[in-house]
Structure 1
Amino acid sequence: MDWKLEVVPIPVADVDEAKRFYSEQLGFVVDHDTRTGGGVRIVQLTPPGSACSIVIGAPTGTEPGAVQGLQIVVPDVDAARAELAGRGVEVSAVKNYTEDGALAEGRGGRWNSFVFFNDLDGNGWVLQERPADE
């Protein structure tokens, strides 16, 4: 039996602004923008190449900005960082975790190069570089 994570709800304050950020600045594909009963608006967006999407607008029971540590794996963290910065996203420098668990500037070893950023509400995202041969 396959268990596949398909959608992660992200709490946001303004659906229009969040949709613009995720689609225009992050480059996520807008899968659908649907209004349901009771004035609820559901927008599903998918990162390029991902099998998992996010949904904004759905009631999540959490405050906007409460979700932290959402991780996207990319083949080239430097190129992904440059792309986001070029679209106006405030991104960290490339960082790595040291042996004692501290976060340090610069690239690390295999699976140990990261870039951090937040959406407009403060939901925290992480880009992690996947080794090219994996």
Structure 2
Amino acid sequence: MEWKIELIFVPVSDVDRSKEFYERVGFHADWDHTPTEGLRFVQMTPPGSACSIAFGTGLGVALEPGQQNSIQVVVPDADEALAHLRGLGVEARGVQELDWGRFVSFDDPDGNTWTLQELPDYSAQG
């Protein structure tokens, strides 16, 4: 049996501001729908990812905006990711070198923290 994580909810305070931010950093806007008054669902996917994020209004997400700090995304090159984000005007932090990878982090407009990890080259280790 396979289990695939395909959608993670991110709590935001301003849906339009968040959508613009994620589009600016390269996420694709898959869906933006308001089926009823008070309910808006936005789904966005990072480039190359099989997992998307969702945010909106009336979704019943338990976290308050700014509390999501556990999303980690694998990137091929942490230096390139840092330069890309900074080139877009995003205040990214890094590159942090650890035994288990190289890390870059940044916050969305609500303070939700994202961590980008370049995996170590395990083939180079004995």
Does the CA-based 8 Å contact 1:75-1:132 persist in structure 2? Answer: no
Higher relative strand content:
2
1:38-91 Cα deviation digits (max 9, x unpaired): 321111000101000000113302210011121110000100110011011101
Q: Aligned partners of 1:4 and 1:92: how far apart in 2? A: 29
Give the equivalent residue in structure 2 for 1:123. Answer: 112
Give the equivalent residue in structure 2 for 1:72. Answer: 73
Does the CA-based 8 Å contact 2:102-2:120 persist in structure 1? Answer: no
Does the CA-based 8 Å contact 1:11-1:59 persist in structure 2? Answer: no
- 1:90-105 aligned at under 5 Å gives the runs 90-97=91-98
Letter in structure 1 aligned against 2:106: F
Does the CA-based 8 Å contact 1:67-1:123 persist in structure 2? Answer: yes
Question: Which structure 1 segments of 5+ residues have no match?
Answer: 98-108
Letter in structure 2 aligned against 1:93: G
Question: Which structure 2 segments of 5+ residues have no match?
Answer: none
Does the CA-based 8 Å contact 1:113-1:129 persist in structure 2? Answer: yes
Shift of 1:112: 1.7
Give the equivalent residue in structure 2 for 1:33. Answer: 32
- 1:105-116 aligned at under 5 Å gives the runs 109=99, 111-116=100-105
SS at match of 1:17: helix
Structure 1: 4+ residue segments shifted above 3 A: 131-134
Q: Aligned partners of 2:94 and 2:119: how far apart in 1? A: 17
Percent of paired sites with the same residue: 50
Q: Aligned partners of 1:59 and 1:36: how far apart in 2? A: 15
Q: Does 1:3 align with 2:28?
A: no
Q: Aligned partners of 1:127 and 1:93: how far apart in 2? A: 9
Give the equivalent residue in structure 2 for 1:60. Answer: 61
Shift of 1:18: 0.2
Q: What TM-score comes out, normalization by structure 2 length?
A: 0.89
Give the equivalent residue in structure 2 for 1:102. Answer: none
RMSD, aligned α-carbons: 1.6
Shift of 1:132: 6.2
Q: Aligned partners of 1:36 and 1:132: how far apart in 2? A: 46
